[in-house]
Chain A
Amino acid sequence: MKKRSLLQRSIITAVITVIGLYIVIGPHGRRPHLKDFTWSGVKANLAQNIHLGLDLRGGSHLVMRVKTEEYLKRLTEDSAVAAQNAAKDAGFDVREAHAETSAGNYRVLLTLGDPSKMNEVRDAVQKKVDLNDGAGWSFSGSGATAAWSLSGSAQRLLAESATDQALKIIDSRINAIGVAEPTLQRHGGQNSNRILLQMPGISDPEHVKQLLAGQSHLELVHIISPASPQPAQTYMTKEEAIASLNSGGNIPASRRVLPYTEREDQLSTEANANTPKPKKFVVVESPAIIDGIDLRTASAIPERAGGDKYQITFSLKKNGADKFGTWTGANVNEYMGVVLNDEVKSIAFIKSQIFDQGEITGNFTKEQGEDLALTLRSGALPAAIEYQEERTVGPSLGQDSIRAGVQASLLGLGLVVLFMLIYYRGSGINAIVALLLNMILMLAGLIIFGATLTLPGIAGIILTIGMAVDSNVLIFERIREEMRSGKTIPSAIEQGFKHAFVTIIDTHVTTIVSSIFLYFFSSGAPMIRGFAVTLALGLVVNLFSAVYVSRTIFIWLLSRKGRRAESLSI
């Protein structure tokens, strides 16, 4: 029976070792050939199988936060305009529309001319605008004020969806730039609205950063001006523009005053390029005819063949094109403006009905033009993003870290091996086999789970060496004790393993429990996560290598010595 058990144990050990070794140094996704058995082949496979973290490999690590409060603010303001328009369209007298947007508090307020019509106004508004319970808005009316406030849970939900939307847009921008093997994911806990972007190999992310954060909110608006052939109405100062509204210095919700830079002024020469360009102001209608989301394509082309100035041509999606076509058909000879990021880029009058084409001129250089077209194509970010963490590692810094980590590991391992051989003699070999197997299986585990090896991960490996040796020390010390108390060698080994096993399980489970805690509480710190994963993996593997395999070697030794084994090198 002993023989059978030994055979079974040996087979299990051998199979797991071979599988582990193959996972670590074997080729993946193709059949092995002879070259894989050479030293350089092994090294190449190893490098391919183990995913190195950014700190070892070089690259950049960006954590950004979507300013969702901006998104909620705009949503509330837009809703206020829409609510006012809906109430007016239904024939109610609305004195004032107001959006209250402080942190955590988003409210739409309408001041009614006739407070007794409160419920009718509510119904009329909610029929047209999404200010109902289903969208998270709750209504309350007091005096002449009708108020809709956005609940906390709806705020969180909207912020989450804005973050998801930003993630998608950033993803398409990253793809358009052609970053190799990027990692893009949500970062931190729920409601933190953060996004993590890792780009291996890019150690100067300045251009990518600008491109990602690039705001490109494109609108087509109706400009309040006498129709062509009169020139478009512009104002020299903002105050002048506001005064033209005759609304007592306030801008009503249905109007916006935007800066406008005239084409001629922009054709400045290099000499005075640094002097501020004279800006004019125009009054436009709100909401816009077309918002950026209706854009189908955008590309940068030279303004003139062979010129170095670029312009953007764009076309609209079907929905937008229909809306645009209807509007332009009804407003021939009116002025229309192309607004980019709240600045009027160009003004044109409508000669005839236009459906889906347009252009933005603005003296762009080739790079500016292409970047702008790219951000336009990928759509507008729901809100601005800000960078909260930026870490870059150059390739040589990473290589130095690998070298330092590997050297330290090897020295540590060497010292441990030396001690074990001196102190436990023959059984020391047993411990060393267990240690090496532990390291192989740990790396195999990392590869199977697709985990990345980081600098703290290497530290985790070094600590696992410590824990693995501890298991062997516990077992060996116990066997020695049992031998001293006069037991035969086979029974000392059996008792030694039996008693030490309880302790080993206790120590391992405690550390694994804390690794699990570490893992779940470190969502914002991937480095600590890498450490937790290596440590937990190493400990689980250790239960196999230090207990099962080590025991198998002892059984094998005993079977060679026969039943009357009288000495054990320990």
Chain B
Amino acid sequence: MLRLFHEVRIDWLGKRRIFIGMSILLMLAGMGTALYRHKFHPNGTDAFNLGVDFKGGTVVTARFKQPPAVEALRSAINAAGVHDAVIQPVLDKPGEFLIKVPHQGAAEAAETQAGVDAARANVRKALNTFGPEADPNKKTLDEDPKAAYKIEGTDAVGEVASKQLRNQAIAVTVAALIGMLLFIAFRFEWTYGAAAVIAVFHTVLVTLGLFSIFQIEINLTVIAALLTLVGFDVNDSIVIFDRIRENRKLYRRMSLYDVTNLSINQTLSRTVITSGLVFLSVVSLVMLGGQTLRPFSLALMFGIMFGTYDTIAVAGPIMVWWERRIEASNRAAATRQANAAVTTRNASRTDRGRKDIGKPSRAA
């Protein structure tokens, strides 16, 4: 039979300093870039390239029969009184352009500022200089012989709505993390839950950092992708934790350190195969999913890579480190007052700690 890994015996936890160091470096790089952009705005960039969902404004997708030059489009749009528009040709669909118009709030009356503005109408006015628009009753541009262009779609989000979406996106991500923390704490120990959640949080931060570095647009679908990552990542952690739980019953004399290494190694082929297969699906999404889904697919692609890495490199070490500290403090407490009851919460832990983590650890 085909086997990917044969009797691996890697001391993963022994390399924890390198791993954690690398993770911190990656996080710092991403967050540093974001902060730098936030402060100095090189080339007019911001910490994150937020889409209309979160920033407000309008995106008009227009298709042309004879695509004009980007510069010609820009000057026509400027002439129509729309400022700071970003014009982006759609790479995989020739003749199609995304025209992103920031909120033109200042020009509007104060009363309507909260709503969406008439960017669509203004952009249409500009595009009409290139020829007539296609009949809205015709399905495609080619069905109308006289037309020069067709507005294929628009996304306009007002300032209030975009703020609400932004808040909701943060709330959803935090809520999902808390839900998982609670569930893992319920099924395992809260240290396990915390370790898994810290690892996931790290992946989310690194992914966001990459989005800042490469200025990939962040929209609602990216949030959906981040939430999926959270799910996948925690899955990986749980598979290893499950194995640790099982192995601790089997090898009662082995230290937590060794059990964790053993469990990571035993589940290594599963981790690699699953992540590899998901990665394959995601790559096909990046290649074929089209421009609309590209930020989503890219978020997943980055996330799957770092998610796989951080289960092994971050979740395991943090969990072991934390459990050991609890064990050490329990032992100290136990020697100080041999017969006195420790706190109720730690009572069961002391018991378990003595039974399971009998052997002094190698790395201590």
Contacts from A to B (Cβ < 8 Å): 63, 65, 188, 192, 203-204, 206, 386-397, 400-401, 404-405, 407-408, 411-413, 415-416, 419, 422-423, 425, 455-456, 459, 462-463, 465-467, 469-470, 473-474, 477, 480-481, 499, 502-503, 506-507, 509-511, 513-518, 520-525, 527-528, 531, 535, 570
Give the contact stretch, choosing among B168-176, B252-260, B334-342: B168-176
> Contacting B153 at CB < 8 Å: which of A192, A394, A412, A515?
A394
Set of chain A residues within 8 Å of B296, measured between Cβ atoms: 456, 459
Chain B positions within 8 Å of A531 at CB level = 224, 227-228
Cβ contact within 8 Å between A386 and B168: no
Q: Report if B116 contacts A (CB, 8 A).
A: yes
Q: A419-B277, A527-B221 are in contact. Are A513 and B168 (CB under 8 A)?
A: no
Q: Which residues of B contact A466 (CB under 8 A)?
A: 232, 274, 277-278, 281
Q: Which 10 A-B pairs have the closest CB atoms?
A: A412-B281, A404-B290, A386-B115, A466-B278, A388-B161, A411-B284, A394-B152, A408-B288, A514-B176, A511-B231
What is the CA–CA distance of A480 and B234 in the complex, to the nearest angstrom? Answer: 24
Q: A387-B116, A411-B284 are in contact. Are A203 and B153 (CB under 8 A)?
A: yes
Contacts of A470 in B (CB 8 A): 235, 270, 274, 277-278
Complex: how many Å from CA A389 to CA B165?
11
Looking across the interface, which residue of chain B has its beta carbon closest to that of A569?
B1
Partner of A389, one of B156, B232, B290: B156
Which chain A residues border B152 with CB–CB below 8 Å? 393-394, 396-397
CB<8 Å pairs between A and B, sample of 10:
A192-B164, A394-B150, A396-B63, A396-B140, A396-B141, A455-B292, A470-B278, A480-B1, A503-B238, A521-B172
- B235 shortest CB reach to chain A, Å: 4
Tell me how far the C-beta of B228 lies from the nearest C-beta in chain A, rounded to whole angstroms: 5
Query: Contacts A415-B280, A423-B2, A524-B168 given: A405-B293 contact, CB under 8 Å?
Result: yes
- Complex: how many Å from CA A393 to CA B140? 12
Are A528 and B224 in contact (CB-based, < 8 A)?
yes
If A386-B114, A401-B292, A525-B165 touch, whether A503 touches B176 (CB-CB below 8 Å) is: no
Contact B238 A510 (CB under 8 A): yes
Which residue of B is nearest A203, CB measured? B136
Residues of B within 8 A of A514 (CB): 176, 179-180, 227, 230-231, 234
Q: List the A side residues contacting B239 at CB < 8 Å.
A: 474, 503, 507
In the complex, which residues of chain A have a beta carbon less than 8 angstroms from the beta carbon of B49?
Answer: none
Instruction: Given A394-B151, A394-B152, A408-B287, check contact A521 B168 (CB 8 Å).
Output: yes
CA distance A351 to B293 in the complex (A): 69
CB neighbours of A396 from chain B (8 A): 63, 139-141, 152
* Cα-based distance from A416 to B283 in the complex (angstroms): 12
Bound CA span A214–B150, Å: 27
Residue of B232, B266, B282, B289 with most partner-chain A CB within 10 A: B289
Residues of A within 8 A of B224 (CB): 456, 459, 527-528, 531
Q: Do residues B183 and A513 form an inter-chain contact, with CB atoms below 8 A?
A: yes
B191 contacts the other chain (CB 8 A) = no
The majority secondary structure among interface residues of chain A is helix
B221 closest partner in A (C-beta):
A456
Contact B287 A188 (CB under 8 A): no
Query: When chains A and B are docked, how far (Å) is the Cα of A400 from the Cα of B278?
Result: 24
Q: Which residues of B contact A527 (CB under 8 A)?
A: 220-221, 224
Residue of A nearest to B93 (CB): A400
- CB-defined interface of B186-210 with A at 8 Å, one 1/0 digit per residue? 0100000000000000000000000
Q: Which of A388, A395, A408 contacts B157 (CB under 8 A)? A: A388
Interface string of B30-64 (1 = CB under 8 A from A): 00000000000000000000000000000001010
Q: Does B84 contact A (CB under 8 A)?
A: no
Which residues of B have CB within 8 Å of A523? 168
Report the Cα distance A507→B237, complex, angstroms. 9
Residues of A within 8 A of B11 (CB): none
Partner-A contacts on B (CB < 8 A) = 1-3, 61, 63, 93, 112, 114-116, 120-121, 136, 139-141, 150-158, 160-161, 164-165, 168-169, 171-172, 175-176, 178-180, 183-184, 187, 220-221, 223-225, 227-228, 230-232, 234-235, 238-239, 242-243, 246, 266-267, 269-270, 273-274, 276-278, 280-282, 284-285, 287-290, 292-293, 296, 300
Closest beta carbon of chain B to A321's beta carbon, Å: 36
Closest to B285 in A: A408
Closest-CB distance, B164 to chain A (whole angstroms): 6
* In the complex, residue of chain A having the shortest beta-carbon distance to the beta carbon of B187: A506
Question: Is B164's CB under 8 angstroms from A188's CB?
Answer: yes
Known contacts A388-B115, A400-B93; is-contact A517 B175 (Cβ 8 Å): yes
Query: Would you call B223 and A474 a contact (CB within 8 A)?
Result: no
Cα distance, A415 to B139, chains bound together (Å): 34
Most chain A CB neighbours (cut-off 10 Å) among B139, B224, B274: B224
Docked-complex contact A425 and B1, CB < 8 angstroms: yes
Cross-chain contact B221 with A400 (CB below 8 angstroms): no
Q: Are A465 and B281 in contact (CB under 8 A)?
A: yes
Least CB separation from B139: chain A residue: A395
Instruction: Determine whether the beta carbon of B273 is less than 8 Å from that of A423.
Output: yes
Given A389-B116, A395-B139, A412 and B168 contact (CB-CB distance below 8 Å): no
**Residue from A416, A503, A509 whose CB has the most chain B CB atoms within 10 Å:** A503
Contacts of B161 in A (CB 8 A): 63, 388-389, 524
The reply to whether B234 and A388 contact each other, CB–CB distance below 8 Å, is: no
Minimal beta-carbon separation of B94 from chain A (angstroms): 13
- A413 and B277 alpha carbons, distance in the complex (Å): 9
What's the minimum C-beta distance from A418 to chain B, rounded to whole angstroms? 9
A71 to chain B, nearest CB (A): 15
**A388 & B153 in contact (Cβ 8 Å cutoff):** no
Q: Is the CB of B280 within 8 A of A459?
A: no
Q: Which of A192, A391, A419, A480 contacts B280 (CB 8 A)?
A: A419
Apart from A393-B152, A459-B293, A506-B187: 8 A-B pairs, beta carbons within 8 A: A387-B116, A390-B154, A396-B139, A408-B284, A411-B287, A459-B225, A477-B270, A503-B243
CA distance A295 to B293 in the complex (A): 50
List of B residues within 8 angstroms of A63 by Cβ? 161
- Minimal Cβ-Cβ distance residue in B for A462: B281
Contact of B115 (CB < 8 Å), options: A387, A469, A510: A387
Given A390-B116, A456-B296, A525 contacting B220 (CB threshold 8 A): yes
Q: Which of B169, B184, B277 contacts A510 (CB 8 A)?
A: B184
A56 to chain B, nearest CB (A): 11
The residue in chain A whose Cβ has the minimal distance to the Cβ of B53 is A525
User: A392 and B221: CB pair below 8 A?
Assistant: no
Name A511's closest neighbour in chain B (CB-CB). Answer: B231
Asked if B285 and A510 make an inter-chain contact with CB atoms under 8 angstroms apart, the answer reads no
- B235, A391: Cβ atoms closer than 8 Å: no
Residues of the B chain whose Cβ atoms lie less than 8 Å from the Cβ of A423 = 2, 273
Which residue of A is nearest B296, CB measured?
Answer: A459
Q: What is the minimal beta-carbon distance from A460 to any residue of chain B, in angstroms?
A: 8
B235 touches A510 (CB 8 A): yes
Q: How far is the CA of A415 from the CA of B276 in the complex (A)?
A: 11
A515 CA to B234 CA, complexed, in Å: 13
Q: A204-B136, A389-B116, A507-B238 are in contact. Are A518 and B227 (CB under 8 A)?
A: yes
Once A466-B281, A521-B175, A524-B164 are accepted as A-B contacts, the answer to whether A510 and B183 lie under 8 Å apart by CB is yes
Residue from B120, B231, B239 having most chain A Cβ neighbours under 10 A: B231
Q: Are B153 and A393 in contact (CB under 8 A)?
A: yes
A511→B274 contact, CB < 8 A: no
CB–CB A521/B171 < 8 A: yes
| B90 vs chain A, min Cβ distance (A) | 10
